[in-house]
Structure 1
Amino acid sequence: MRIGVVTFPGTLDDRDALRAVRLGGAEPVALWHGDDDLRDVEAIVLPGGFSYGDYLRAGAISRFAPVMDRVVDAAQGGMPVLGICNGFQVLCETHLLPGAMIKNAHRSFICRDQPLRVENVRTAWTTDYQQDQVIRVPLKNQDGQYVADERTLAELEAEGRVVFRYTAGATHGPAGFESNPNGSRNDIAGITNAEGNVVGLMPHPEHAVETGFGPDQPGEGTRTGTDGLAMFTSVLRSMVS
């Protein structure tokens, strides 16, 4: 199984995403923002960073990169696409996902281990999780506040399209944002499209895929910092099912 990871100018986490794809059991394929060919990949990851320096607004310029025309077409055709942090912002800019990402409510960059509740295990990227499972993965952003109009939020909730939600258990952070780190509406950390093949989230599962290198679950001896790995194994299962 070939999974492509797109690099834009300013991308920071492409190598981490490529490694996570490999550890999940797939063949990682590096894609460049100027490519006009997806090189026969079967799924795509848009990784985190500050594409094009986040000029104008985060993800706004990446939306017009040549490779994104191919990504949008593939996603609309059913290919699994995952957007992480800046990748989530790009997915919103392309309207593959609804809503927008704006500055954190506390106007500060935040970096911490973040608990998330898994709200939807039916997407291409979450089948290896359990419903309502609480996982812990790193979070790092300054434009991480998810916003949408009330009608869109109501549709996301009614259709079960909230995939991850911020939950209690963070050990530090700005005052007033111990569970919701950036002011996102409805504590939303990640969402999916109606078909379930496109998922975007702000926290970084690719940083929690190796024993000893990701955040442990406090009080649970069975967790070894690999809570993010299931996203990369889930998509393999979805492609062969």
Structure 2
Amino acid sequence: MTPKKIIKRAGALGLDIIAICDHNASKNARPIMTLGKTAGILVLPGLEICTKEEVHLLGIHKSICQAEAVAAVVYQGLTQNNAPDLFGFQVIADEQDMVIGQEQKLLIQACQLTVKEAVDLIHQQGGIAIAAHIDRTSYSILGQLGFIPLDLGLDGVEITARTIAHKQERYFLDKTTLPCLVSSDAHRLDEMGQGTTVFHMTIPTFEAMASTLKRGDTTFTTRGF
């Protein structure tokens, strides 16, 4: 999933907005944002934070500086280094798909922020905080905590495309009144667009997306299930 290939795939799928949310890091967002501008695709920078409780939390931002500020705090709390022979290389690429560096810390580990601290940090940097894939048994807020605390200040929850495609989302949505979105959670190019959220808005901007999500003025699409 190199920057140029991500934007090419997003264009082929007709996506207007994508978010780049690497685990506990944001260094690959900047080149994809640059390519997205040329292609007419709004690329939002973010992270998928693994909290102290091993809950996956999406932080989605308007600017790369905001995402990088969150990433800097998260990165400080990563204690283990990566072992490429076990977990693979964690590369940083540029706009030409050239590898310009590697993340030295193991990015799939839990950081030192609690869920509440992570949500607050995302909000301090102007982002929206989404509880990731709440329908999964592992690394989800329901899987790890068993419930969604009302005082977290979450902006929404994410349900995976497979659950939506099989019309099983009600079981999870009954556990919260928060707005829901669906995304592909793509780790490979062919997974992009498997789940999408249609935001009913005039112009694709971060502000409009956040407002539309808050109103719940969204619909979902899935493919390949």
The TM-score, its normalising length taken from structure 2, stands at 0.33
Q: Considering Cα pairs closer than 8 Å and 6+ residues apart, tell me whether 1 or 2 has the greater RCO.
A: 1
